Amino acid sequence: MRSVVKVTRRGQTTIPAELRKRFGIKEGDELAVEPTEAGLLLKVFPKLEEMAGIDAKFGKAEEIKRKVEKLREEY
């Protein structure tokens, strides 16, 4: 899907509603803008609260904290 958007004199643009819905972009979300060979790439920054439990498959928070502390002591 290709969309054409305008840039205002203040450098602002609007992401089409269909794309905002598809990628879960809401008011106040932050996007990373990266230059690429093909043009600009927009990436949605995940919110910290949405990432809660993302590493649960690796163990409980207390276990991971102990492992990190042990690695710090060894370093």
> pLDDT by residue (tens digit) across 24-36?
999 989 999 999 9
Query: What pLDDT was estimated at residue 51?
Result: 65
33 SS3 class: strand
- pLDDT single digits (tens) 39-51: 999 998 877 666 6
68: enclosing H helix or E strand: helix 61-74
Sign of CA dihedral 44, 47, 53, 56: positive
SS3 state at 18: helix
Instruction: From 23, 18, 21, select the one nearest 42 (Cα to Cα).
Output: 23
Per-residue pLDDT at 75 exceeds 90: no
Domain boundaries, the chain: 17-74
Report the predicted TM-score, pTM, of the whole model to 2 decimal places. Answer: 0.59
